[in-house]
Amino acid sequence: MANVAVIGSQWGDEGKGKIVDWLSERADVVVRFQGGHNAGHTLVIDGTSYKLSLLPSGIARENKLSVIGNGVVVDPYALASEIERLQKQGLKVSPETLKIAENATLILSLHRELDGLREDSSTGTKIGTTKRGIGPAYEDKVGRRSIRLMDLASLDTLRDKIDRLLSHHNPLRRGLGVTEITVEDIYKELEDIAPKILPYMDAVWRLLDEKRKNGARLLFEGAQGALLDIDHGTYPFVTSSNTIAGQAACGSGLGPDAIGYVLGITKAYTTRVGEGPFPAEQKNKIGQFLGERGHEFGTVTGRKRRCGWFDAVLVRQTAKISGITGIALTKLDVLDGLDELKICVAYELDGKRIDYLPASEGAQARVKPIYETLEGWKDTTVGARSWNDLPAQAVKYVRHIEELIETPVALLSTSPERDDTILVQDPFRD
């Protein structure tokens, strides 16, 4: 059996919730390996909806172990609130079902405040962050001054670590014209939350190694999408972590050989939230149609998503960078009823045709899409559970996407319902 890493192959919001839910039922351990509570998806199990931001999707299922890896930045108050909310819904969230890496970086109130100050500033580049402190927390991690979960277990040494952190943040706050923070402010913040979070702490790398040796199926659950990767995405309009499949190993404490299959969740059209380049964006009736039919609003922020045609150039590129084995194509049903469909197959950059998205911010802003046009279909794809249930033109559309992105379709989703899925290739099998 192969362990599976699930990532988004576009700018996030590809419909990972349903697919991860479907896979988590068959996994033994579900691991979050990057991001924070800026992610979000909704699971519907036995008619009940569970909204998750930080917790792995396995938390909504019995007899599953959920793990938050070292690659995740954890807001302890947001986590405690999410746990309490799910417990009120009847879920059993306990130190037996949830483990958090002892070396996970914490998001503090000063991170949230700094994130908001920067994003709301009238100067500088607006990234379109969720203002939840994700970026500043990762900055402190790389700057070797962050407070980590294990630090809450040694309150006698915590003040010195906070002082080191504030030696960086208070000069920033002075420059931004806001009040400085005292060591005691942060100490009190962490002292109060420590008893609620520490029981979940564990040496996650060792735990996962033991589970793997004992034959457990591991599902690595990514957040956001590959085009938001800090290295390989549309920089600087990206998130602050690596969102590609390689991070599944680094962000959980396992070697890369632990990942046997990479599933790229891929929407049958393209969306993105926030600022940044979007070559195939449709600021017209088509974009409005896709947004309304696809209910394109962010789970966490509620922000309206920008919509456009499927961009095969981008997905082919992310498939290669992430080593995607197969894709799960979602929201095909949103395209039902369109007379024609377009697929971006290449770009024009300064008069030349290219088959990739360049890394330069300026070049990304200048690329123009080159489209192929396909005939649409009038019959519905909603609820299809086999290829025979799909209109002929829908099958042609899917097969052409496979050719263009040089990656096979492993799963095809035809509605938000879990069972409305066409299984072509089982990711959990080698």
For residue 426, indicate whether it is catalytic.
Answer: no
3-state secondary structure of 422: strand
Residue type at 156 in one-letter notation: D
Backbone torsions φ then ψ of 81, nearest 5 degrees: -65, -40
Reported as half-sphere exposure (CB side, CA atoms, 13 A), residue 195 has a value of 3
In angstroms, rounded to a whole number, what is the distance separating the alpha carbons of residues 308 and 288?
9
For the chain, give me the number of helices (H) and strands (E)? 12, 20
CB contact set of 397 (below 8 Å; sequence gap of 6+): 268, 332, 335, 341, 374, 377
Residue 301: closest CA among 82, 39, 18: 39
319 neighbors 406 (Cβ within 8 angstroms): yes
For residue 115, indicate whether it is catalytic.
Answer: no
Look up residue 304 and give its DSSP letter: B
In angstroms, rounded to a whole number, what is the distance separating the alpha carbons of residues 170 and 182?
9
Q: What angle (nearest 5°) sits at the alpha carbon of residue 363, between those of residues 359 and 367?
A: 115
Question: Cα 205 vs. chain centroid, distance in angstroms?
Answer: 21
Residue type at 23 in one-letter notation: L
DSSP secondary structure letters along 68-98: E-TTBEE-HHHHHHHHHHHHHTT---STTTE
Written as six digits, the tokens of 289 are 């149609």
Look up residue 262 and give its DSSP letter: E
Active-site hit among 28, 37, 41, 75: 41
Strand partners, 326: 263
In angstroms, rounded to a whole number, what is the distance separating the alpha carbons of residues 399 and 391?
13
List, by residue number, the catalytic residues: 13, 41
